[in-house]
A and B are shown apart, each in its own frame.
Chain A
């Protein structure tokens, strides 16, 4: 036992620590799925990808989905349209709180079925109040209820977005058309952005979203509604896989009252510009200086 010196013990302990640190460092490798290619593992940032890279990645996600869920999906990466600045306005005078918008979002964006997640949260508020802390987002009675009004809240696509500023890895950014996006493959899941957003518009995938294959919306966007992995942030993208092709967002199409107005802020003849010019418009939490692309308005 005489050769068990202090030096030997320290060397052994150091080697053990070193080995365990190395094991922790390469832990992601041990979670490497056979379906995941080397390219997928050694990813580059979205903004560094060429159009060809992006197309190849989309094809790979389609192939992976075929393996994982057994269904054919189409993943596209539509780019911002030149001259288009997206904006959205919501008429609080006619919203009845039916939550059809939240439900349409749930289905369009391939949200986790078990949590019934949606990018839209509808608050029921007392007439005359705008204190969101008193709002009820889990009401379950016929609407509109007497003495109440309804305020759907989703991502405001801020021009001065706190969520973008706090991201330590630039996994979220603002695109040319005003939409704030997340690269699910670059996000590290720190949830700083969720904490920074004054509208509570971001959601975290605590687990892999569960959706029955036959319920998956096959019309998917790389930066929007493709099925997300576990441990990443997600958010409303104004349905960019639809709107960058000129279509209306799913929440607007689902609205039975026409409370939602969507369009191009850069087009002076657009419906949304008419609303902003002619209606009584207000910005939620205007004092924070977030400069949203989402507006609320009243008829009277």
Chain B
């Protein structure tokens, strides 16, 4: 098995696997988030390991305001109850909406609009 080469910074540096993987996430490199000792695991900046299901902790190192808003229900979609005494919520996490390698929210086609009389000035159609 080949040893990880920390000098590889982007997918263009690779000659096997993950070639062509798009990365558009600031100046981050593979090892900013992946653990050099075990690429199948994530690590925080201070070296502590993070499970994939807890990746929000990794993202929060840089995206503090989003994490603050997330914790107050003001960022990231959810399902369930507003009244937490009656039931729980299912929260999206960061990677449900953002690709960790290309985190910009991708454009989507909108759902159909209504055909009502007051739209686009067509008041008497």
Our verdict on whether A and B bind, yes or no, reads yes
Chain A residues in the interface with B (C-beta under 8 A)? 81, 89, 91, 94, 96-100, 102-103, 106, 115-118, 121-122, 136-144, 200, 203, 243, 245-248, 252-253, 255-258, 261-264, 270-271, 274-275, 278-279, 299
Query: Within the assembled complex, what's the spacing in Å between the Cα atoms of A117 and B76?
Result: 27
List the A residue with the shortest CB-CB distance to B97: A256
Contact of A253 among B69, B78, B120 (CB under 8 A): B78
Q: Note all chain A residues with C-beta closer than 8 A to B103.
A: none
Closest chain A CB from B10 CB (angstroms): 27
- Please, how many angstroms separate the alpha-carbon atoms of A103 and B113 in the complex? 8
The answer to whether B81 touches A247, judged by C-beta atoms less than 8 angstroms apart, is: yes
B111 touches A (CB below 8 Å): yes
10 pairs, CB–CB < 8 Å, chain A vs chain B: A99-B110, A99-B113, A102-B111, A102-B113, A103-B111, A247-B83, A247-B86, A248-B89, A258-B75, A258-B77
Do B97 and A257 touch across chains, with their CB atoms under 8 A apart?
yes
In angstroms, Cα B73 to Cα A136, docked, is 29
How far in angstroms is the closest Cβ of chain A from B108? 5
Cβ contact within 8 Å between A255 and B110: no
CB distance from A96 to the nearest CB of B (A): 6
B82-117 interface bits toward A, Cβ cutoff 8 Å, 1 = contact, 0 = none: 110111010010000100000001011111111110
Separation of A7 and B72 alpha carbons in the complex (Å): 82
How many CB-defined contacts (below 8 Å) exist between A and B? 121
A247 and B80 contacting across the interface, CB-CB below 8 Å: yes
From A98, A137, A139, A258, B76 is in contact (CB under 8 Å) with: A258
A270 to B72, CA, bound (A): 8
Does any Cβ of A come within 8 Å of B74's Cβ?
A: yes
- How far is A262 from B70 in the complex, measured between Cα atoms in Å? 14
B119 CB-CB contact with A under 8 Å: yes
The answer to whether A115 touches B74 (Cβ under 8 A) is no
Q: Which residues of B contact A247 (CB under 8 A)?
A: 80-83, 86-87
Residues on the A chain within 8 Å of B87, using CB: 246-247
B82 surroundings in chain A (CB, below 8 A): 243, 246-248, 262-264, 270
CA distance A102 to B66 in the complex (A): 25
A-chain residues with CB within 8 Å of residue B81 when the two chains form the complex: 246-248
Main secondary structure of the interface of A (DSSP, over half): loop
Decide: A139 and B110 in contact? CB cutoff 8 A: yes
| Nearest B-chain residue to A258, judged by Cβ | B76
Query: How far, in angstroms, from A219 to B97 measured CA to CA in the complex?
Result: 29
Bound state CA distance, A123 and B99, in angstroms? 27
Task: Answer yes or no: B27 CB below 8 A from chain A CBs.
Answer: no
- Contact status B114-A271, CB under 8 Å: no
A91 and B74 in contact, given A138-B120, A246-B86, A299-B65 (Cβ under 8 angstroms): yes
Chain A residues, Cβ within 8 Å of B65: 299
Bound-complex Cα distance A248 to B92 (A): 15
From the candidates A81, A100, A137, A248, name the one contacting B119 in the complex (CB within 8 A). A137
Beyond A121-B119, A137-B113, 10 additional pairs, beta carbon < 8 A: A99-B110, A99-B112, A116-B115, A121-B116, A138-B119, A139-B113, A141-B109, A246-B81, A253-B77, A256-B92
Asked if A144 meets B113 with Cβ closer than 8 Å, knowing A257-B97, A271-B74, A275-B74, the reply is: no
Contacts of B114 on A, CB cut-off 8 Å?
102, 106, 115-118, 121
Q: Are B77 and A255 in contact (CB under 8 A)?
A: yes
Closest to A243 in B: B82
Q: Report the minimal beta-carbon distance from A87 to chain B, rounded to whole angstroms.
A: 10
A102 to B73, CA, bound (A): 21
Q: Is B118 located at the chain interface by the 8 A CB criterion?
A: yes
> Given contacts A138-B119, A258-B77, A275-B74, are A264 and B108 in contact (CB under 8 A)?
no
> Which residues of chain A have C-beta atoms less than 8 A from B80's C-beta?
247-248
